[in-house]
């Protein structure tokens, strides 16, 4: 697992390469990394290459250096912009402790979501295509706790909250991640239907 300082570096690299300037020279990229290393260590081209390799391994984002043009992200997509935004949020919040009192001047969204289950379990079930069972407090049914068995497909952020989109009895449904009472990954797996996207009609639970 990457350390916090590494995550900050990864976020800065991805954000720098996700802007309007598609190609960034090595000098520009190194300059944007100033002050990010601990104990005034220099951020070198060697460190940059290691970070680029790790970004590919962890996030699946391929970065290459094109001769005469500079570094760029291969096959940029709209989803990359959303991911870069999350890393920007992380960089702001992770650096708050370095500047005493600055939290008074940083204003995140008023409504903050508290997760009630381990997010890594949710991501693991999606990645490995494991079926899941969980109990969930429904906001639409006066707080009734219901049990579900489902096939997890996506997680998505909307208006400051994260939701799990899962297939329940062949119907796509969304579940707010702050309303889970329990979450269990089953040994049984499922074949992911590639025709199902976030544009597929779904039901809020």
Q: Which domains does the chain have, with CATH numbers?
A: 4-105 (1.10.10), 119-204 (2.30.30.520)
Longest CA pairwise span in the chain (Å): 62
Which tens digit of pLDDT belongs to each residue from 55-91? 888 778 899 999 989 999 988 776 666 666 666 666 6
Residue located via tokens 């699946």: 60
Instruction: Report the alpha-carbon distance of residue 141 to residue 139 in Å, rounded.
Output: 6
Q: For 2-47, what is each residue's pLDDT tens digit?
A: 455 777 788 888 878 887 778 999 998 888 877 666 556 778 899 9
pTM for the whole structure: 0.55
Q: Cα-flanking dihedrals φ and ψ of residue 63, to 5°?
A: -120, 130
DSSP secondary-structure letter at 192? -
- CA–CA dist 148, 55 (Å, integer): 35
Question: What are the distances in angstroms from CA 160 to CA 86, 132, 156, 175, 185?
Answer: 11, 25, 10, 14, 26
Residue carrying structure tokens 């250096």 = 65
Q: Identify the pLDDT of residue 108.
A: 60
DSSP state of 144: -
């Amino acid at each position: 697992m990457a350390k916090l300082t590494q995550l900050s570096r990864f976020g800065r690299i991805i954000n720098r390469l996700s802007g309007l300037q598609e190609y960034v020279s090595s000098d520009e990229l190194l300059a944007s990394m100033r002050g990010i290393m601990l104990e005034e260590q220099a951020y070198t081209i060697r460190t940059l290459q290691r970070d680029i390799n790790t970004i590919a391994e962890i996030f699946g984002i391929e970065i290459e250096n094109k001769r005469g043009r500079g570094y760029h992200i291969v096959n940029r997509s709209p989803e990359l912009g959303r991911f870069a935004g999350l890393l920007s949020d992380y960089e702001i919040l992770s650096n708050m402790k370095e500047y005493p009192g600055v939290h008074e001047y940083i204003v995140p969204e008023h409504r903050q979501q508290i997760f009630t289950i381990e997010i890594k379990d949710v991501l693991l079930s999606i990645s490995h295509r494991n079926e899941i069972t969980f109990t969930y407090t429904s906001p639409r049914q006066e707080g009734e706790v219901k049990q579900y068995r489902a096939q997890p497909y996506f997680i998505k952020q909307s208006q400051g909250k994260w939701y799990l989109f899962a297939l329940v009895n062949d119907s796509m449904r969304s579940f707010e991640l702050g309303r889970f009472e329990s979450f269990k990954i089953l040994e049984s797996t499922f074949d992911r239907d590639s025709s199902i996207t976030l544009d597929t009609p779904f039901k809020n639970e």
